[in-house]
Structure 1
Amino acid sequence: MSYDIKRSVSLYSYQDEYYDGKLDLEGCLRETAKTGATGVELLAEQMIRRFPLPIETQEFRDQWFGWLKKYNLEPSCYDAFLENKIYDNRTLSLGEQINMMKRDIRLASMLGFKNLRTLVSTPMDVIEGSLDYAAEMDVKIGLEVHAPFSLNSGWADGYMEMIHKTGTKHFGFIPDMGIFCRNIPDVLRDKARRQGASEECIKIVDDSYAQRLEKGFVKIKYDLNLGKANMEYRMANGMKEMMDAVEKAGGGPADKAYAGASFTYSWSEPQDLIDNIDYIFHTHAKFYNVHEDYVETAVAIPEVVEAFKKAGYKGFLSSEYEGGEHLRDVGVDSIEQVRRHQEAMRRAIEG
């Protein structure tokens, strides 16, 4: 089947350089272009000061589109955050949340984005209440499928029912490649060592992850209470037994932190992508550490890209670097990591 897989960079990847003042917004776009990527994914709330006011001005939009032309980039996805708890004493009403979603759809459109990412915490009725406006603005709302969530699961089924019920063409899924981790990222393991974790406890955690992989992860269920759903998912995947083993081995805070963090990664069969390709229009190519030989230490890049090719995917794979958070005590080089990741994806796509 023919495919058209393009490469993008989420500016989330450059957050450390941005925060430290080494890169401004234009600098992030410049570094994106250097990697050979042709698309850019924007977190406007993170990278546009005084958000959302500048987007409303023609001056800023002219500057934005001027940068895109200068660096030969196109908008791939706008990352939205539904801040439904901006007040201390209450959660936003359904109407207020829908209005916030509509605001983000409008802002995305103003910056040339046809895809908008929303988080798994976004209530289904907020998405459904925004679909007519999304169609009017021709912006697709994509629900991020982030570990420990997964496609072909009870959690995803509820959203599929909404798609079929409404007949919408403006809602689907944005898989995050963190759901395709064959291993716990080595940068997390190395950080645990620096913080004092023992080799015995690290092995217990790594062996537990390998067992989950071998048995097949029990998938998370749909529940409006995400905390409850997440804890049930962890327990169903052997968290108690693993934590008991770590405790028995004399595990301290660093050991227990590593054990708990291991449940932020998961493995799904790449076949899930093929089964749901009609509802996938953008992808977060999450990664944690790419070595000099262009091998990612946790995410099965070649296997996942092959599934996208087999499915006939037409869309962006957007580098999203998340290893930096484990390296801030020793130094982060997001620019080099994104460069390596883009090269790894290029080889997988063209191979």
Structure 2
Amino acid sequence: MAELRLGVSLHSFAHEYCSYVWSLEDLLAMAGQLGGGVEIVGPSHQRGFPYVTDEFEAVFRSAVDRHGLTPTSYGSYADPFLLPHRDLTLDELLEYTIPQLRGAARLGFPVVRLQHYTASIIDRLLPEADDLDIVLGWELHVPMTLASDRTRRLLDLVEKYDTPRLGIIPDAGIFARSVSVAHVRRARELGVSEDVIRRVLAAWRDDRDLDEAHQLLGNPGPTSPVTTWAGLVWDTFGRSDPAELDAVIHRVVHVHGKFFDIVDGDEPDIRYRDLVAALVRTDYTGWVSSEYEGAVGIGEGGGARAQRDSFELVAAHHRMIRRYERDAS
């Protein structure tokens, strides 16, 4: 088997990008230094979203040429809750999504990440994918797991249409072994007691669903910091077994290499050794985009992300995957 193709999602550099430390040009240059595979997130990195302007296309394609980049996957969004007074209709959701597909194709992306909300319009998106010569992939992101009901419904659609234009994109966050130290720190910042932290983590390790966890905690109200933090945990760390990929690998069109930290050369909370072994064992040929989340969304007191260089962490993530890849070969 050839080496896994490793790239980076520019989301990995969100802290430095959003705080104006690094520009978009900086991010693209660093993607080139990391090997060239690049994934962007439409509303985060693209001016004029959901449309691609001539100016943005010129800037992006120039960077591709100058930095030796390979566009891998475009992160589209499907937000049916854009309007304050009602959800988008299916026609409106289609009108919001189609420009993203066309923009991705203009930028040279072969794969477009879809969110599960597009399941209701997939029959209308596939002809567009054919015309644009792109592949659509539903992201399996926590709280979805490989065994969840929503994932099963998406896989049923993939099997129903049975086309190379449609597949899935597993996010490595679904393969967690533990909850990160930074997320536990956030609980303390919110004022959650040590006893409640212990009980929440025990419920997560026992693979209980969020409703069961709430019952075990005495059903804290919707504004309780316990509810806020438990929701963060269940929406970030999934309990799938990477071995489950064997049955669906032929439908995997891209992989999001989510990670939260690298400690002594390893990601402490995601089962990366097992994940890489599964990709090697099944002869996966697509890209893996490193996606560093670090302390994103866990408050100023989290601190860990602000003190560490995201580029160096992504480089360390690549080295870790290569080491596990050698071990599995």
Q: TM-score, normalised by structure 2?
A: 0.88
CA contact (8 A) 1:29 1:67 kept: yes
Change (3 A) 1:177 1:41: same
- Aligned CA-pair RMSD: 2.3
Alignment of 1:28-177 (within 5 A): 28-34=27-33, 36-52=34-50, 55-57=52-54, 59-120=55-116, 122-177=117-172
Distance 1:3 1:172 in 2: 22
The one-letter amino acid of 2:67's match is: Y
Which residue of the partner structure matches residue 202 of structure 2? 207
The one-letter amino acid of 2:313's match is: Q
Which residue of the partner structure matches residue 242 of structure 1? 216
Alignment of 1:314-329 (within 5 A): 314-325=285-296, 326=298, 328-329=300-301
CA contact (8 A) 2:258 2:292 kept: yes
Which residue of the partner structure matches residue 270 of structure 2? 299
Deviation for aligned residue 1:168? 2.3
CA contact (8 A) 1:3 1:313 kept: no
| 1:278 equivalent in alignment to 2:250 | yes
Which residue of the partner structure matches residue 228 of structure 1? none
Change (3 A) 1:72 1:350: farther
Deviation for aligned residue 1:272? 1.9
Deviations, residues 64-106 of structure 1 (Å, cap 9, x unaligned)? 2221222222001000112333333433322232232221111
Deviation for aligned residue 1:278? 0.8
Distance 1:288 1:80 in 2: 22
Deviation for aligned residue 1:143? 0.5
Gaps of 5+ in 2: none
Distance 1:8 1:191 in 2: 29
Gaps of 5+ in 1: 218-232
Deviation larger for 272-281 or 202-211: 202-211
- Identical amino acids, percent of aligned pairs: 27
Deviations, residues 124-162 of structure 1 (Å, cap 9, x unaligned)? 221221101101111111111011212244323322332
The one-letter amino acid of 2:254's match is: H
Which residue of the partner structure matches residue 319 of structure 2? 343
Deviation for aligned residue 1:52? 4.6
Q: Name the structure, 1 or 2, with higher relative contact order (CA <8 Å, separation 6+).
A: 1
Distance 2:93 2:300 in 1: 35
Distance 2:299 2:30 in 1: 20
Deviations, residues 183-231 of structure 1 (Å, cap 9, x unaligned)? 011111122234443333322222222222xxxx6xxxxxxxxxxxxxx
The one-letter amino acid of 1:302's match is: R
Equivalent of 1:310, from 281, 296, 308? 281
CA contact (8 A) 1:142 1:173 kept: yes
CA contact (8 A) 2:179 2:201 kept: yes
SS for the counterpart of 1:116 is strand
Alignment of 1:16-31 (within 5 A): 16-31=15-30
Change (3 A) 1:175 1:297: same
SS for the counterpart of 1:191 is helix
Deviation for aligned residue 1:12? 1.0
Deviation for aligned residue 1:255? 4.9
Change (3 A) 1:199 1:160: closer
